Structure 1
Amino acid sequence: MADLARRRWFGLVFISLAVALIIVDSTIVNVAIPSIVDELGITSTQVQWVQEAYTLVFASLLLMFGSLADRFGRRRMLLIGVVIFALSSLVAALSPSGDALIAARLLQG
């Protein structure tokens, strides 16, 4: 019984951290926009895509990946998602241009 309770708490903490990543990501991008514009010299249209690309892909694929998680395992899909998110965040941080940053944000979603 204690093992089950521990696993539930561990699951709750892990899911909470994953949700916090989503919130922090949006906040960080909004705060960093002036620096991104200065360093990459992107247009206002590209700024819009940098801000919205992640949300657009995330929202459009949420139901499909929820169904896949039911089939292949929620834990596995969550771990795969977190790994992809982390790697694409690294790509976004090292992006040399606005288009590369937008592509990385799409992959993050």
Structure 2
Amino acid sequence: MTEMLKGTLEGIVLAILAVRPAYGYEITARLRDQGFSDIAEGTVYALLVRIERRGLVQVERVPSEKGPPRKVYTLSAEGRDYLEEFWTTWGFLSERLERLHGLDGGGR
């Protein structure tokens, strides 16, 4: 499960940011609220660095009441394009997997 999730986590995080901007801990909390409880905070922060380098998000430093400024991530135009492609690919894979699942008698 963890290995499969690694391949889709980027798209999942971008989907979260498509709803509204967020900072790292908030993204991790939203993932956990959606049932992704095994994702480590460090994994999310490493992913955020990667998608920032690729230009999929824009980053704004916002003052924090406690400690240093927070980095708030917003989906960029490139990120929206990438997310659209992610959903197209996900739909394709999901459809094919459902067909295979039906062929094997529903996994029985």
TM-score for the superposition, normalised by structure 2: 0.29
Higher strand share: 2
Q: Which has the higher contact order (CA 8 A, sep 6+)?
A: 1
TM-score for the superposition, normalised by structure 1: 0.29
Higher helix share: 1
